[in-house]
Chains A and B, each alone.
Chain A
């Protein structure tokens, strides 16, 4: 499947079906993140049930503490 993640077109493996899978794929699953799919913010409890489709535009911002 091809997605546009943070403005870049990328191809993800077939195992990636949901937002949860995508976060795991980027190793962001244990980080605090805000995820938007096609300009809609996905609530954390919806990550596992929100499926992704070819061409979806995904924005991911994860939090860090340093400064």
Chain B
């Protein structure tokens, strides 16, 4: 018996057979923020075969309070989260293959990844419903379970969506929540994150060891400050005519590509811009170009950060950019096109 996993194997519902199954599994994690780092560490320690991490952001000081894989050095270097997470996870468990993707998990990217690699499980660690609707469509189209998790303040909730067995997110929501409604600016405490991570990884382990009977099957929510707890069996909300999980699915969120070209990031006073065609920048050259214009620019192997008045423009190698200091998409676009053409 491999000592590393001995305690997990002693847990009867997993055992040696379960451990072997965990080892054969590939999990795709969408988002490497608070929930993402928690899920990643738990699954990598548990000894899965492969973890793919997709994240569009880089490490900042405000992340360190709860995003457990990151260090001060990562924030100083503005390391992309996917890269910083991979580095840390490889120190934690070198048995696990870690694939880091620095980029947006848009419909095109996520569907291509899932179609090619056919992972066993998708874990949602995003911070917005546009992304979750894309995950939902991809998961049901390719019949792969996905686990929703979300939190704000001391409140959190989770649900494991199983194609062919449970309703989907579209059935539950009927509409896509608009940005303002779910864009959370209320802050967050780390135990809330850990609790959602626990709900997600517990269901993940059940799915990975193929113990479907043990799945909770309920939408669960809690508030760690007001001490409330709720759990609802939601099978009854499944709709036969659902465009994602119904009898004639159209997967509407896989064709909404144009909507994802710009996005206001939740609670961040930042706008993301994706160029209509992929670009390829030499980041050192780009930083030099900014400096020649009298701007203060810093580059690392993944991005260039440049201050422009009270705004900051962060450009990734593929041309994707974050404009910090504004929530105004037009203003962000103006800055992007002025400096990047």
| Chain A interface residues toward B at CB < 8 A | 6-8, 30-32, 34, 36, 39-41, 44, 59-67
Known contacts A31-B181, A59-B231, A65-B127; 8 additional CB pairs below 8 A are A39-B233, A61-B230, A63-B150, A63-B177, A64-B182, A65-B183, A67-B125, A67-B149
Q: Verify B155–A64 contact, CB threshold 8 A.
A: yes
Assembly CA distance A63 to B232 (angstroms): 13
Assembly CA distance A60 to B223 (angstroms): 12
Quick one: closest A residue to B169, CB to CB?
Answer: A63
Q: Verify B232–A7 contact, CB threshold 8 A.
A: no
Most buried by B among A7, A32, A44, A65: A65
Assembly CA distance A8 to B226 (angstroms): 11
Assembly CA distance A61 to B223 (angstroms): 11
Give the Cβ gap from B178 to chain A, nearest Cβ, in Å: 10
- Tell me the chain B residues, 190-234 only, with Cβ under 8 Å from chain A: 196, 219-221, 228-234
Quick one: closest B residue to A36, CB to CB?
Answer: B232
- Of the A-B pairs whose beta carbons lie under 8 Å apart in the complex, a sample of 8, sorted by A's number, is A7-B230, A34-B234, A59-B230, A63-B150, A64-B156, A64-B184, A65-B184, A66-B151
Assembly CA distance A17 to B150 (angstroms): 31
Q: Verify B173–A66 contact, CB threshold 8 A.
A: no
Q: Verify A7–B184 contact, CB threshold 8 A.
A: no
Give the Cβ gap from B37 to chain A, nearest Cβ, in Å: 11
Choose from B35, B125, B152, B228 the contact partner of A6 (Cβ within 8 Å).
Answer: B228
Q: How many residues of chain B get a CB closer than 8 Å to chain A's CBs?
A: 42
Choose from B126, B177, B181, B230 the contact partner of A67 (Cβ within 8 Å).
Answer: B126
Assembly CA distance A32 to B178 (angstroms): 10
Q: Verify B157–A63 contact, CB threshold 8 A.
A: yes
Q: Verify B182–A63 contact, CB threshold 8 A.
A: yes
- Tell me the chain B residues, 97-152 only, with Cβ under 8 Å from chain A: 124-129, 149-152
Q: Verify B219–A61 contact, CB threshold 8 A.
A: yes
In this assembly, does B319 line the interface, its C-beta being within 8 Å of a C-beta of chain A? no
A36 CB contacts on chain B under 8 angstroms: 232
A65 CB contacts on chain B under 8 angstroms: 127-129, 150, 152, 177, 181-184, 266
B156 CB contacts on chain A under 8 angstroms: 64
Q: Verify B157–A41 contact, CB threshold 8 A.
A: no
